[in-house]
Amino acid sequence: MRTVFNSVSRGLLLIAIGVVFFLINYGYLSWSLWLHIFDLWPLMLILAGIGLLFSRRIPMSAVLLVFLLCMVGYSMVMGDKPESRQMFNPFYYISSSGGTGTLDVPLQSDVKKARINLKLEGAQVQIQALDSVNSEPQLISGKYKWKSQGSILGPQGAGFSTEQAGDTLTATLSPALLGENDKLNLSDLELNLSTKVHYDLDITAGAINGTIDLQRLLMDNLKIGTGASKFELRFGDTGIVTKGKIDSGASELTLVVPENVGLNVRLSGVVSSTNFVGSGLLLEDKNWVSPNYTEAKTKIDLEISTAAGSVQLERSKVSIQ
């Protein structure tokens, strides 16, 4: 009887493995299913222990079969995205590659406002104003690095697009497809922006490090959503009101704001440390406000939400015009 049970369980295991590969090849399951071995390996110990409790009457093939079914169920619960319908190709292989790209958007005379959307992974970021000595007017210039895991085909797109509606231009830099299923992830980014137009800047990133220098930029709205990061955010005396919202994980954020600029900061979440008291800000109805906020020509309004993050403020004496 035990021999028959062993044979049946081995047959069912082979059938189950074949069915799983068919479902993956036809796009009903994801190849990332096999990565869940690292998540569920303790279950193998539990199942093996149950087999020992029954004096080894449960064969290892039955244990593996149950483990495989658990992996399939776990993959579905986790919402793994299935690959597109592409049959297995033995000449297709996964390789790590990367490269660089450039950004070059001329400034049209009818563009008065720009919306910049940046969707990054873990990236080293440097954002600043364009050098005014450029011979030709530019709205955006810069360069970036990308990394990918893809096929031998190489990149099919840079992940950068622009669209103009009226006097507003929208520019988006985001992950792009390399081949049919492969993703291009942006890493190091150096972005230079014109000082002649108003901006809305939206950054979504897994993690960022670096400097976002807005001292000479007309920034109307700023939105940053990121995980654990470390970056410096610099503001200048631009004569406008800038509204910003920052959501981050366990991050280290440094704000550099000129003394003559009005500052209003609302903190939420878990802030591990801040120096707002020593920097001269006053607490008014859960907002940290600079004494000169009401009469200041330039105002910075920020909402900052962190998870065990640090927010430090530097009040510079000289503002770059």
Encode pLDDT of 237-280 as tens digits: 999 999 999 998 888 999 999 999 999 999 988 877 899 988 88
pLDDT in tens, 42-95: 777 777 777 777 666 677 777 777 888 887 877 776 665 554 444 333 333 334
Q: Tell which residue, 264, 262, 245, has the closest CA to residue 304.
A: 245
Structure tokens at 102: 């450039």
Residue bearing the bigger pLDDT, 181 or 101:
101
Judged against a pLDDT cut of 80, whether residue 213 lies above it is answered with: yes
Residue with tokens 């920020």: 302
List Cβ neighbours of 256 (8 Å cut-off, separation of 6 or more): 232, 233, 234, 235, 314, 316
CA dihedral sign, ordered 283, 286, 290, 292? negative
CA–CA separation, 154 and 156 (whole Å): 7
Residue with tokens 């009887």: 1
Residue 181 binned pLDDT confidence (cut-offs 50, 70, 90):
very low
Average pLDDT over the chain reads 80
Q: Tell which residue, 177, 36, 154, has the closest CA to residue 95.
A: 154
Judged against a pLDDT cut of 70, whether residue 321 lies above it is answered with: no
CA–CA separation, 134 and 194 (whole Å): 10
DSSP assignment string, 219-276? EEEEEEEESS-EEEEEE---SSEEEEEEE-SS-EEEEEEETTSEEEEEEEEEEEEE-T
Judged against a pLDDT cut of 70, whether residue 33 lies above it is answered with: no
276, 313 contact by CB (below 8 A): yes
Mean pLDDT (whole number) for 276-301? 92
Note the pLDDT of residue 92.
34
Judged against a pLDDT cut of 90, whether residue 293 lies above it is answered with: yes
pLDDT in tens, 183-195: 556 678 899 999 9
C-alpha distance from residue 65 to each of 110, 119, 231 (Å): 65, 41, 49
Judged against a pLDDT cut of 70, whether residue 133 lies above it is answered with: no
Residue bearing the bigger pLDDT, 197 or 121:
197
Q: Report the length, in residues, of the chain.
A: 321
Residue with tokens 């036809």: 26
Q: What are phi and psi of 233, to 5 degrees?
A: -120, 115
182, 193 contact by CB (below 8 A): no
In the chain, DSSP assigns E strands to 95-106, 113-129, 138-150, 160-165, 168-173, 176-177, 183-193, 198-214, 218-226, 230-235, 241-247, 252-258, 262-274, 282-284, 287-289, 299-316
* 3-state DSSP assignment of residue 21: helix
Max distance between CA atoms of the chain, in angstroms, equals 90
